Structure 1
Amino acid sequence: MKIPLLINKKALVVLALGLGLMAACKKDKTEDPIIKVPVIAGTKGVYMLCEGLMGGKNSAISYYDMATKTTVADYYLQVNKEPLGETANDLEQYGSKMYCVVSGLQGTKQSFLDIIDIKTCKSLKRIAFNSSTDGYMPRFVAFYKDKAYVSRYDGKVNRIDTATMAIDGEVMLSEGLEQLAVANGKLYVCNSSHPLYPKGAKNKVSVIDLATFTKTKDITVNNNPVRIQTADNGDLFVITWNDYITNNEPSLDRISSVSDTKIASYNYDLGTIIINGSSAFVAKDVYTNPDIKALNTTSGALGGSLITDGQLINTIYGLTANPFSKEVMVADANGYNSNQGFAYCVGTDGKVKFSFKTAGLPQHAVFNYKYE
């Protein structure tokens, strides 16, 4: 039996269209560009933020080149042809940029956030934090998704879009804000007992819901919380310094990001803390018997010393973990010398891998990586 010609023509048309689509799909698949995700191959160099002497307008960013083993004490000035500013307080990496918080001084218009290209140390934009007569004195920066969050001594937290590099929101908390950290979709902000800001909450960690960018509650901790870090289990560790006026002692307080309550307190006198996943270190008894100890983020117990090869640190002023190598950069303020400090890279075996001189009062590092 013969198939009608009309049906044959239709079948041929359908077949031709199908073959054409298959060819087009094959062609598209072949011609699609392969997007290669950069893979870190090693550390190319280390930036070290140096606070400088208060009132000296001598904050700097030093840079150590791993290949040449050379250091430029004020690399920011060399690249940008202008000084960094007065009392730089924080330097953090996020994506291809680093964010430098320059606090300035009370009563002056010297406050800003400097957004800097990591590869070149070239300033991309300065966001001013000044009124017509005074600076808002920004203190620290933290990140969540495509936003940066900056705490200020005048009590506000600003939200900055990392793509447009523009402020797109703010929330009012309490005077004297210090370090902030992100956990479980929320921002946790230390309310310090700063003597210049009597309206501060003094013993609270404020919680901000990042979906709505609104404050949800205050968590009571020990007096004068100043530093906070998030562990990989979601708990937050808060260093409280006391203010030497009240009778309470410095401590390390622990907050659950699930219940948003303080769940533990440890009687430690600490200067600073750094947590990278399950690895954590604290600077202990920085004025009496200084040491850098491991912190168990499950039990809260202190472990052995970070440095095991006998290297002495004169003035422990900052700790930064390298997320790639797991090494820790230790900043030594060298007796609060305004001209020169030191930075030590400590490996996972407790030995110093390299060190370099910095500008005055080094405190926080950012790593310039090389990629495959």
Structure 2
Amino acid sequence: MKTTLRCSSKTTLLVFASCLLLFSSCKKDNDEIEAIDPEIESTAGVYMLSEGSFGSGNSEITYYDIKSGVTQRNYYKKVNGTDLGENATDLQRHGSKMYCVVSGKTKGQSFVDVMNVFTGKTLKRISFNSANDAYFPRSVTFYQNKAYVSCYDGSIRRIDTASLAIDGEVKLATYQEGLAVANGKLYVAQSDYTFTGKNTVSVVDLATFAKTKDITVTINPVKVAAATNGDIYVISYGNYSNIAGNLDRINSVTDAKVTATPVAGVDYNSSISITGSAAYMSVTDAATFSSIIKPLNVSNGTLGNSLVTDNATIGILYGLTIDPFSKEVYVADALSYTSTTGKAYCFGTNGKKKFEFETGQNPQHAVFIYNYKKQ
């Protein structure tokens, strides 16, 4: 789940402090909100990660306070006194910590930055570099007290969430992207963004930390999400010519691809977010080339009608995140591939835009902080 930083009163500070101790003692299998004390009352604020432009060193994290409507651009630098880095590709929360994956471009620039989720302050930067090269980490997910990071060098690396040290590695294939956990197994997209026909999702048994199987899916699998029923959903980009992108579904009990009707409009702008009973995916309209956000029925893999019910428009959808508590949908809009800023929009469950705020270049993933009911 997600959480974060700022507070408006001494009472809230005390609540956050107690939450910090509570979350620090908990070990969860995923990021879902659980029925714990103190009880969540509302969403207080949002961290939004912006990837920046390739190799420019302008990745950043924006913080938006919902009650005041105040946006703090480049919040990470304000808190830590240094730039986040170049090519930040993922931001996730686990317990009292927030993990930011920074791919970098050259040796020494690849790392996972682990922050205190309540303050945004760095606890440790975990190097993802060898003596000669970078590992180029891409995505992170969690199972129990471990974090798992996919890397372009072909390895999945395991981080102990207590010691914040890399304590395991399994070699798979180069250019790994998204990953998700279901039934004690890790599912990893193997993609190279080219026309070579790479089309597998690797399965890693987390008890033995060894690969057990490769599952054939549509060419160029990139984004992976796990549903509460154990099914794994995979967005594949296709080969950009005669093989269209698609949404594939994997049964995590049998580790077999479930036959499904092709989903129209899946391409490199498509994103997916699944949190509890809420699931959404974006596709591209063939006539207007605009992004459409649709609810995903995780029981059968079908898409519903557009979420957006007002006249709100999205330039280039670059990321999609559901708030686990409110089920509101946060859309990261790159505006254009040449824009130096982006936008984040919050849509209510009724499909109407509630608010928006400015972000860095190429925003993509949100993490949330909450207000808690007084005990």
TM superposition score normalised by structure 1: 0.86
Residues matched between the structures, number: 333
How many angstroms apart in 1 are the aligned matches of 2:221 and 2:96?
A: 31
How far the C-alpha of 1:293 sits from its partner, in A, is: 1.1
Provide, for residues 134-179 of structure 1, a one-character-per-residue CA deviation record: whole Å limited to 9, x for no partner.
2111000000111100000011001111111111111000111000
Aligned position for 2:60: 60
Tell me, yes or no, if the aligned pair for 1:52 and 1:360 is still in contact at 8 Å: yes
How many angstroms apart in 2 are the aligned matches of 1:53 and 1:64?
A: 22
Aligned position for 2:17: none
Aligned position for 1:159: 158
How far the C-alpha of 1:263 sits from its partner, in A, is: 1.0
1:93 maps to a residue whose letter is: R
Tell me, yes or no, if the aligned pair for 1:157 and 1:171 is still in contact at 8 Å: yes
Provide, for residues 318-343 of structure 1, a one-character-per-residue CA deviation record: whole Å limited to 9, x for no partner.
00010011111100101124421111
Misfit runs of 4+, over 6 Å? none
Aligned position for 1:312: 313
Q: Which has the larger radius of gyration?
A: 1
Tell me, yes or no, if the aligned pair for 1:108 and 1:133 is still in contact at 8 Å: yes
Aligned position for 1:249: 244
Against the structure 1 CA distance between its residues 89 and 286, is the aligned structure 2 distance closer, same or farther, given a 3 Å change threshold? farther
Tell me, yes or no, if the aligned pair for 2:80 and 2:121 is still in contact at 8 Å: yes
Aligned ranges for residues 1-372 of structure 1 at < 5 Å? 37-105=37-105, 107-195=106-194, 202-244=198-240, 247-265=242-260, 266-270=262-266, 271-285=270-284, 288-372=289-373
1:261 maps to a residue whose letter is: A
SS in 1 for 2:259: strand
SS in 2 for 1:305: coil
Q: Percent identity?
A: 54
How far the C-alpha of 1:368 sits from its partner, in A, is: 1.3
Provide, for residues 349-370 of structure 1, a one-character-per-residue CA deviation record: whole Å limited to 9, x for no partner.
1111111111111100000122
Tell me, yes or no, if the aligned pair for 1:53 and 1:338 is still in contact at 8 Å: no
SS in 1 for 2:271: strand
How far the C-alpha of 1:286 sits from its partner, in A, is: 7.0
How many angstroms apart in 2 are the aligned matches of 1:261 and 1:363?
A: 30
TM superposition score normalised by structure 2: 0.85
SS in 2 for 1:77: helix
How many angstroms apart in 1 are the aligned matches of 2:300 and 2:253?
A: 18
Tell me, yes or no, if the aligned pair for 1:315 and 1:334 is still in contact at 8 Å: yes
How far the C-alpha of 1:80 sits from its partner, in A, is: 0.5
How many angstroms apart in 2 are the aligned matches of 1:195 and 1:125?
A: 35
How many angstroms apart in 2 are the aligned matches of 1:362 and 1:342?
A: 7
1:103 maps to a residue whose letter is: S
SS in 1 for 2:304: strand
How many angstroms apart in 1 are the aligned matches of 2:182 and 2:265?
A: 24
**What stretches of structure 1 of length at least 5 have no aligned partner?**
1-34
How far the C-alpha of 1:41 sits from its partner, in A, is: 2.0
How many angstroms apart in 1 are the aligned matches of 2:126 and 2:206?
A: 22
SS in 1 for 2:314: coil
How many angstroms apart in 1 are the aligned matches of 2:342 and 2:140?
A: 24
How many angstroms apart in 2 are the aligned matches of 1:355 and 1:289?
A: 19
2:125 maps to a residue whose letter is: R
1:321 maps to a residue whose letter is: I
Against the structure 1 CA distance between its residues 73 and 148, is the aligned structure 2 distance closer, same or farther, given a 3 Å change threshold? same
Provide, for residues 110-150 of structure 1, a one-character-per-residue CA deviation record: whole Å limited to 9, x for no partner.
10000011111101100011122321110000001111000
How far the C-alpha of 1:48 sits from its partner, in A, is: 0.1
**What stretches of structure 2 of length at least 5 have no aligned partner?**
1-21, 23-35
How many angstroms apart in 2 are the aligned matches of 1:256 and 1:269?
A: 23
Against the structure 1 CA distance between its residues 169 and 286, is the aligned structure 2 distance closer, same or farther, given a 3 Å change threshold? farther
How far the C-alpha of 1:195 sits from its partner, in A, is: 4.7
How many angstroms apart in 2 are the aligned matches of 1:238 and 1:365?
A: 20
SS in 2 for 1:113: strand
What RMSD, in angstroms, separates the aligned Cα atoms of the two structures?
1.8
Q: Which has the higher contact order (CA 8 A, sep 6+)?
A: 2
Against the structure 1 CA distance between its residues 338 and 78, is the aligned structure 2 distance closer, same or farther, given a 3 Å change threshold? farther
How many angstroms apart in 2 are the aligned matches of 1:165 and 1:338?
A: 36
Tell me, yes or no, if the aligned pair for 2:290 and 2:314 is still in contact at 8 Å: no
